[in-house]
Amino acid sequence: PCMVNKFKPVVTGEDLKAKLPDYPYIIVDLMLWDKHIPKEKSKIILQLRETYGVMRRMMWPKMLAITWLNDEVKERLKIPLEKIKAYEGPTSELLKDNGIKRVVLLDPNADEVLSSNDLKEKAFIIGGIVDMKGDKKGTTAKIGEVLEREGIDVLRRKIVLRGDVVGVPNRINHITEILLRMLYGEPMEKAILAVQ
Ligand code: SAM
């Protein structure tokens, strides 16, 4: 049956299904884009571009997704959107289109540390959030709340260095690289030290 989607994704659900992963999705969620000031928005754009670079360098085939993608980001990003899952709709729709019911939300304020068991999940979400103004503490959790309201199971997990999030680089591209290294089997500490 034809899916009616008021958000008109750049890639349709059927396209996504056709390329269903052996690899988990790495999803950068731009739900909180409008909460950022212009300087922060520029940093998000830059970090997204670098995230695409990390995915290519680390050969994570075509599994980068950017959700809540808006026209401004599309225009400024200057990466080949056809090579990623560029999705104008909410993250929950991308997950539902792919039959994914449970995700790992990388969140520095989570209670639990990301474990090797979590690495078996099919999708990982990184908040498209940059803190310069100092008003976004705890906002990653909001992404999780929205997903839970849509019936998705959200595993909130933090990445820590010797027990603490202090010392873990928090740029979107760095978190992506740490995660990819862990997906390739590197221990957390080694992965963090490699990107510092
Ligand atoms: N101000 C946000 C908060 O307090 O929730 C953090 C924003 S951080 C600059 C950007 C994103 O990187 C977060 O949304 C999260 O997905 C990821 N991130 C950064 N540090 C992390 C850590 N230590 N553990 C897990 N995820 C982290």
Is any ligand 1 atom within 6 A of the Cβ of residue 176?
A: no
What was the pLDDT predicted at 3? 53
How far, in Å, from the CA of 31 to the mean position of ligand 1? 14
Q: Best mutation site among 91, 107, 111 for ligand 1, i.e. most ligand atoms within 8 A of its Cβ?
A: 107
Q: Which residue lies with its CA nearest to atom 13 of ligand 1?
A: 127
**DSSP-assigned letters across all residues of 8-52:** --SS-HHHHHHT--SS-EEEEE-TTGGGS-HHHHHHHHHHHHHHH
Is any ligand 1 atom within 6 A of the Cβ of residue 12?
A: no
What was the pLDDT predicted at 87? 95
**What pTM, to 2 d.p., does this model score?**
0.90
Instruction: Using the atom order of ligand 1, give the atom closest to the CA of residue 157.
Output: 25
Is any ligand 1 atom within 6 A of the Cβ of residue 44?
A: no
Q: What integer is the mean pLDDT of 101-124?
A: 97
| Mean pLDDT score across all residues of the chain | 91
How far, in Å, from the CA of 4 to the mean position of ligand 1? 33
What was the pLDDT predicted at 20? 44
pLDDT digits (tens, 9 = 90+) for 6-55: 555 555 555 555 544 478 999 999 999 999 999 999 999 999 999 999 99
Is any ligand 1 atom within 6 A of the Cβ of residue 35?
A: no
CA distance 14 to 6: 16
Q: Above 0.85 for ipTM, yes or no?
A: yes
Is any ligand 1 atom within 6 A of the Cβ of residue 165?
A: yes
User: Closest Cα partner for 93 from 18, 172, 6, 19?
Assistant: 6
What was the pLDDT predicted at 6? 52
